Amino acid sequence: MLRLVAHTRPLNRGFITSNRIVYSKEVLEARKNGLPIVALESTIVTHGMPFPHNLDTALGVENIVRKNGAVPATIAVIGGKVHVGLEDNEIRKLADLTDKTVPKVKASRRDLGLVLARGWTGSTTVAATSIIANAVGISVFVTGGIGGVHRNGHITMDVSADLTELSRTPIAVVCAGIKSILDIPRTLEYLETMGVPVVSYQTTAFPAFYTPLSGYDSIAAMASPQDCASLIKAQRDLGLQNGTVIGVPIPRDAVEIDGEELEKCIQKALIEAEIQGISGKNVTPFLLDKVKEVTDGKSLNANMALIANNAHVGSQIAVSLAELIENEGGKGGHGVKLATFPPKWSPETKIAVIGATNLDIVSKFSASASKEKSAEGSVSFSLGGVGRNIAEACWRSGGDPYFVSAIGSDPAGDIVQAKLKDICMPMTGIEAIENATTGCYNGILDSSGNPLSGVADMKIHDLVGNSTSSDSRKELSWILKDKKPQYVVVDANISAQALKDVVNYSEDQGFNVTTVYEPTSVPKCTKIISLIKDSSNSPEIAWKRIKATFQVITPNVAEVAAMLQHARSLNLLPQEYEHEFPVPDQFTLISTDDGPVHAVMNGAIALSTLFRVVVVKLGRAGAFIVSREVPLPLCSQNAEMVTFPGGFSIVHVPSLHKEGVPVVSVTGAGDSLVGAMVSALARKGVVGKSLDGTALTEAVCEGMEAAAWSLRTWDAVSEHVGTKVEDGSNVY
Q: Which residues are catalytic?
A: 41, 179
The two counts, helices (H) then strands (E), for the chain are 23, 25
> Residue 663's beta-bridge partner residues?
none
Peptide bond into 10 cis (omega under 30): no
Integer Cα distance of 25 and 11 in angstroms: 26
Separation in Å, CA 682 to CA 349, 626, 667, 670, 732: 11, 20, 25, 19, 29
- H runs (alpha helix) in 295-443: 298-327, 386-396, 411-422
Q: Which of 227, 230, 108 is nearest to 166 (CA)?
A: 108
> Residue 115's beta-bridge partner residues?
none
Integer Cα distance of 565 and 374 in angstroms: 43
Q: Residue 540 carries which side chain, given as an amino acid letter? A: E
Integer Cα distance of 665 and 675 in angstroms: 18
Rg, Å, the chain Cα set: 28
Q: To 5 degrees, how large is the angle CA 699–CA 300–CA 272?
A: 160
- H runs (alpha helix) in 520-613: 527-530, 539-549, 557-569, 597-607
Q: Which of 152, 48, 148, 132 is nearest to 82 (CA)?
A: 132
- Residues near 143 by Cβ (< 8 Å), separated by ≥ 6? 40, 41, 44, 126, 129, 173, 174, 175, 307, 310
Q: Is residue 135 packed enough to be buried (19+ CB in 10 Å), middle (13-18) or exposed (0-12)?
A: middle
Query: Given its phi and psi angles, is residue 244 left (phi above 0), alpha (psi -120 to 50 degrees) or beta?
Result: beta
CB atoms within 10 A of CB 56: 16
The answer to whether the beta carbons of residues 262 and 215 sit under 8 Å apart is no
Q: Is residue 411 packed enough to be buried (19+ CB in 10 Å), middle (13-18) or exposed (0-12)?
A: exposed
Q: Which of 648, 666, 656 is nearest to 701 (CA)?
A: 656
